Amino acid sequence: MSGLAALALLVASPHAGSQPKASYAQRFADLCAACHGANGRTDQSLTPVLAGQPSLYAITQLFLFREGRRSNEAMTAVAKTLTDDDLRGFSDFIGTLPPVPAPPAATPPDPVRMMKGRALAEQHKCLFCHGAGLAGGQQVPRIAGQHEEYLRDSLRGFRAGTRPGYTQAMTAAVSQIPVEDLDILAYFAARSPGSADGK
């Protein structure tokens, strides 16, 4: 069975024998919060904010880490220890974490850079897939309010092919975009508040 078929099965199959949700809240606190923050927002700039991520996006990424398709020393080591039920349990829990806005920045966003970022996001259809507020949904991640450094590295990784996605969507979206423009997109998304209702 191909990796992607295995993921489809994992997402579709019932939570047979999985632990109740409450225990994943505790396990998240024990195993994940040191890096990702108790509420899913850490201030470590290369550790992604999980608060507000859709559970389907989370399970896809945990699967990619576990199968060695997405690679990161810290996160791969964690993912290798997770069972199928854990993938479901942790991603269901992540799906319950409400978005947490970024703390106010020391300096206000540069309006010219923000305008350029919005125009690029429109031009390259980032808004089309990630939503007008960049809040994501289903298998598409929230990128509003994500750490700028993490976004920058991720976008460069998709472009360079060092971060293969679950599908080709992101590689195709960024392969023709100059790196300087990717950095402006990271700047813009990190400072976007998410949609008006905070969802």
Q: Which residues bind ligand HEC (CB under 6 A)?
A: 31-32, 34-36, 46-48, 50, 58, 60-62, 72, 74-75, 78, 90, 121, 124-126, 128-130, 139-141, 143, 146, 151, 154-155, 165-167, 169-170, 173-174, 177, 185
Q: How many other C-beta atoms are found inside a 10 Å radius of the C-beta of residue 121?
A: 21
Q: Which is nearer to ligand HEC, 121 or 135 (CB)?
A: 121
- Rounded to 10 degrees, the C-alpha dihedral 25/29/31/37 comes to 120
Smallest gap, in angstroms, from Cβ of residue 131 to ligand HEC?
A: 10
Smallest gap, in angstroms, from Cβ of residue 184 to ligand HEC?
A: 10
The angle at the Cα of 80, spanning 77 to 85, to the nearest 5 degrees, equals: 135
Smallest gap, in angstroms, from Cβ of residue 146 to ligand HEC?
A: 6
| Residues 72, 17: Cα–Cα separation, whole Å | 29
| Residues 190, 131: Cα–Cα separation, whole Å | 15
Smallest gap, in angstroms, from Cβ of residue 101 to ligand HEC?
A: 16
